[in-house]
Amino acid sequence: MTAHDPVIACGNCPIRHNAICAECESDELSMLERAKSYKTVPVGTPLARAGEPLSHFSSLVKGCAAMSRTLEDGRRQTVGLLLPSDFIGRPGRATSPFDVTALSEVTLCRFERTAFERIVRDTPHVASRLLTMTLDELDAARDWAVVLGRMTAREKLAAFLLNLAQRQRSVRGMARPSGKILVALPMSREQMGDHLGLTIETISRQITALRKDGLIEVPSRQDIRILDYDALAFEAGDDGDGAPIA
């Protein structure tokens, strides 16, 4: 693990147009560059712990992390999946409401908490972008409540793969998926089960079923190829524009 990685100029950053700096102008980017640092951590590293102070707020530049809540009896539920450009922390809150753990090697663009809170107060474009991202996150959480509460195991897995495909292409500035799409799996089968509220055995059975039905291929344990995006969307109850079928 490196304590501090070389800082990438904001103009060359791979998440430049999706992260908190997406609406910033050149002078604002210069201010962010002076305030930020980079840190790369290995898989399994806690990025935040529920109820504990956050010294830094961070954007994911590379890798994947999970937000989770652990109950008193040890049961764990993943409540969110963080991919490049997603943000960890909330201005005005000194502690984290969730555990956040790296599911792969993760590179973070970090800001000292109090310094970032000053940036939010002084930079309307950062504040505006942060509000937009927070509202998008709220909408996604509400959609995911439907997935977890109302969908079958097959529908849950289909919805999960579609969501990954959409988010991975969005970060790269690509259009809405269609046809054959290769999806990089950022988590193990067990972690997918935690995220979807399913057992690892159910995850494996549903992957096998979707493969036998000609909807996906499994070239490796780290990748799944969607063979027909629209057909998989139908399995998940998606009407083609991102809204669930009534």
pLDDT tens-digit map of 72-101:
888 777 888 899 999 999 998 999 999 999
CATH domain 151-235 topology: Arc Repressor Mutant, subunit A (1.10.10)
What are the backbone dihedrals phi and psi of residue 162, each rounded to the nearest 5 degrees, phi first? Answer: -65, -45
How many Å apart are CA 146 and CA 169, to the nearest integer? 23
Amino acid at 122: D
Alpha carbon 122 to its chain centroid, in Å, reads 27
pLDDT given for residue 128 in this prediction = 93
Lowest mean pLDDT among 2-11, 23-32, 143-152, 227-236: 2-11
pLDDT of residue 173: 57
In the chain, the N- to C-terminal Cα span, in Å, equals 48
Distance, CA of 220 to CA of 8 (rounded, Å)? 32
Kindly state the helix (H) or strand (E) to which residue 24 belongs, with its residue range: none
In this prediction, residue 239 carries a pLDDT of 47
C-alpha distances out from residue 181 to 29, 82, 204, 228, Å:
34, 20, 20, 8
Q: Which CATH architecture has domain 2-141?
A: Sandwich (2.60)
Closest CA to 62 of 40, 81, 87, 95: 40
Closest CA to 80 of 158, 194, 189: 194
**Cα–Cα distance list, 235 to 22, 60, 197, 230 (Å):** 34, 31, 18, 9
